[in-house]
Structure 1
Amino acid sequence: MTAIVARPVSVKLDQETRGRIDRLATSRRRTTHWLMREAIQQYIEREEKLEAYRQNGIAAWEAYQASGLHVTQEEADAWLAKLEAGEDVEPPACHV
């Protein structure tokens, strides 16, 4: 098993931000170190999901440009209305 090596990283914070972290850590009964690690991990996860969503959008746009396949807004709205009404229906077929 490979050991995970954690290395320190320095972050410069203004006094107000540092004070806010200190107060929050105290109220949560956590260390400031834990709080900052948690904040960074949550930020990275959120940004990675956002980037994946963005990349999926780019890929969908490129696929549309290459093939021209699409559904109209009316077709999509009608399908979504059926789903909202509880009907188990297939999505509309794409067309050029």
Structure 2
Amino acid sequence: MATLLKIDDALKSRVHNLADQRRRSAHWIMLEAIQQYVDREEQREAFKKEALQSWASFQETGKHITGQEARDWLDTWGTENETAAPECQK
């Protein structure tokens, strides 16, 4: 699928300068930029969806852990005393 992308001269010049510095084609630079943007935005949307689902679950059940419980648990990661996730409470 061919897609036409119109960009202003200033941005076009920046892309070409970066392409020269990276020893890549301008086409490669633009594809890479688009790919990274789409990946980042998809991850942002997935995070937002998960947060909304978590909020809905909390409103429904009241189950949660405190911020301090989460920090204490995370502090054990990668240590000899690594612990299991704390139990949710009401």
TM-score (norm 2): 0.85
- Aligned with residue 14 of structure 2, among 20, 26, 29: 20
2:56 aligned with 1:70: no
Structure 1 segments of 4+ aligned residues over 2 angstroms from their partners: 72-81
The structural deviation recorded for 1:84 is 5.6
**Any unmatched runs of 5+ in structure 2?**
none
**Any unmatched runs of 5+ in structure 1?**
1-6
TM-score (norm 1): 0.80
In 1, distance between residues paired with 2:34 and 2:18? Answer: 15
Partner SS state of residue 32, structure 2: helix
| Bigger shift: residues 42-51 or 71-80 | 71-80
The structural deviation recorded for 1:85 is 8.3
Aligned residues: 89
The structural deviation recorded for 1:14 is 1.3
Q: Indicate the residue corresponding to 1:34 in structure 2.
A: 28
In 2, distance between residues paired with 1:44 and 1:84? Answer: 31
Which structure 2 residues correspond to residues 1-96 of structure 1 after superposition, within 5 A?
Answer: 7-81=1-75, 83=76, 86=79, 87-96=81-90
Query: Identity percentage over the alignment?
Result: 37
